[in-house]
Structure 1
Amino acid sequence: MRFGIKTRPEHTTWPEMRDVWVAADDIELFESAWNWDHFYPLSGDLAGPNYEGWSMLAALAQATRRIRLGCQVSGMIYRHPAVLANMAATIDVIAEGRLDVGIGAGWNQQECDAYGIELPPLRERFDLFDEGVQVIVGLLSQETTDFDGKYFKLTDARCEPKGVQRPHPPIVIGGRGPRRTLRAVALWAQQWNAIVQSPADWKALKQTLLVRCDEVGRNPAEIVCSVNVVVDPETGIGPAAEKVAEYKEAGVDLIVLNLPHRAKPGILEPLAEALAPLA
């Protein structure tokens, strides 16, 4: 089993976020670190501060040397996918090939209403998402990309310089929808970040993913399966490690530990010690 961490860029400071990631970079057990892609906080005072995820990734890529990094996950509705592809390519260069491109369909009505961003009905949102993923993959892997969709149209489009990773930085699709999300995972993702409530919930969805892979002729072994486990500041590391063990038994490949809000770097060593027997 492999491990990552996630820190929330809400109600915090840049030095606090940076220091945790730099400390995780020095602990070999942690292979990846993640933030999120929101413009408003999701807890506490919703009028409070929240850092933009992708520009923060560029700075964190420069501040670290080993750990992989990504947004978990970026809403396709927020940026034209050609713009996002160019951002991703630049950050992968800065990170020297350590970026994972986390993407999802998007859902936050409050942010969309505040910024005048259209949040289409669910079916249209996934139609747009499917097109956007293809645009991103094309621009990150091909010299030129042509695309004639309902939502996006590209003509002889370029994205230069390309990222370091070939054929492109890994695509991480987040969500749990059995029809649209898991079909997109089967078609395009190198990692699926599953939103689940329990190991039993995950196992049921994994069976659906196997069906979707069979439908499109994809080898499911090519897809890393990840879930998130919360480290509750009230109950501590022990219960989180127990939950991780349950997901390991269920067959999950990668666990992302959601750290307590404004966690200090000192939490990482005891967390790594608790998880090491499960690695």
Structure 2
Amino acid sequence: MKIGLQLPWFNWPGGDAVIGPRLAEIGRAADEAGFASIWVMDHFYQMEMAGGPDEPMLEGYSALSYLAAVTTRPRLGTLVTGVIYRHPGLLIKAATTLDVLSGGRAYLGLGAGWYEREARGLGFPFPPTKERFAMLEEMLQLAHHMWAGRREPFTSAHYQLAEPIVNPMPLSRPHPPIMIGGMGERKTLRLVAQYADACNLFARAGVDTLRQKLDVLRAHCDDLGRDYDAIEKTTLDSVNLAPGAQTAADVIAKCRELAALGVSHAIFNMPNAQDIAPLETFGREIIPAVAEF
């Protein structure tokens, strides 16, 4: 099993002036500890449950490009980009640029988007759910089109690209892994089976729910003739490695449960990542232990 790090908070002691150097310090520490991936949310406002717009939030691809320059090994991605936030041609170009500049370490994380206040606040379109999922599927089709090197026009219900050229092409082969985040059984997991290289599920839903979602994904794969085992199963969870909270043994036990379900990449965020010590604990105790799962 691989371990990833998500960074959803930037309200670190010292204020806005320390965000850049502290992010670099965290990135280097995560690299040294052996984290397989580093992720940021692709939001422009902090989420309501984490303090809302009064808390700092970085633009995702700028932050990932910065992390690419201070790390050498972890893959980098957004967890995940709402399809409404960027025209798909621009998004594919941004993900390709990240892949090239990082030496082939990008993921393309995608979802239908959900944060209406953020969209309305900054003037992004926020169509109904059904339309956002239609846009997501067209985005996925376009990613495969462009990363296959096809330059003929791409036309769909929402997007028209006369010359969908991407140059340079990504270094990842055949292309940066496409991850879809979400647990919807009828739409999201069907899109994973049809178009994606990885899925991301919420570990806090519990073992029984995760098993159900993976069974649904397997059924979609069977219907579409897709190899279920070819899809990377990832999860997102929170952990607080601090006195009186959780321990390394707790995290290892959780990872063992996830591995038994077929999860091969467990991603964690933590409220005290900026203290660096929790990252070092992962590198010293957790990452070597779960590598055996």
CA–CA separation in structure 2 for the residues paired with 1:172 and 1:189: 6
Deviation at 1:140, TM superposition (A): 2.4
Aligned twin of 1:32: 37
CA–CA separation in structure 2 for the residues paired with 1:203 and 1:145: 41
More off after superposition, 163-172 vs 136-145: 136-145
1:9, 1:36 within 8 Å by CA — same for their partners in 2? no
Paired letter, 2:5: I
The gaps in structure 1 that reach 5 residues or longer are none
Indicate which of 281, 284, 290 corresponds to 1:270. Answer: 281
Paired letter, 2:224: V
Matched, 1:173 2:176: no
Paired letter, 1:75: G
TM-score by length of 2: 0.90
CA–CA separation in structure 2 for the residues paired with 1:172 and 1:120: 22
Indicate which of 271, 277, 284 corresponds to 1:260. Answer: 271
Q: How many residues align?
A: 278
Deviation at 1:240, TM superposition (A): 3.1
The gaps in structure 2 that reach 5 residues or longer are 13-18
TM-score by length of 1: 0.94
Deviation at 1:203, TM superposition (A): 0.6
What is the correspondence of 1:16-165 to structure 2 with a 5 Å cutoff?
16-28=22-34, 30-42=35-47, 43-44=50-51, 46-165=53-172
Aligned twin of 1:225: 233
CA-atom RMSD in angstroms? 1.6
Aligned twin of 1:195: 202
Paired letter, 1:236: Q
2:46, 2:52 within 8 Å by CA — same for their partners in 1? yes
2:88, 2:139 within 8 Å by CA — same for their partners in 1? yes
Deviation at 1:261, TM superposition (A): 4.6
CA–CA separation in structure 2 for the residues paired with 1:83 and 1:114: 21
Aligned twin of 1:237: 247
CA–CA separation in structure 1 for the residues paired with 2:10 and 2:281: 24
Aligned twin of 2:16: none
2:196, 2:231 within 8 Å by CA — same for their partners in 1? yes
Deviation at 1:168, TM superposition (A): 1.2
1:8, 1:35 within 8 Å by CA — same for their partners in 2? yes
2:197, 2:232 within 8 Å by CA — same for their partners in 1? yes
Provide the identity percentage: 33
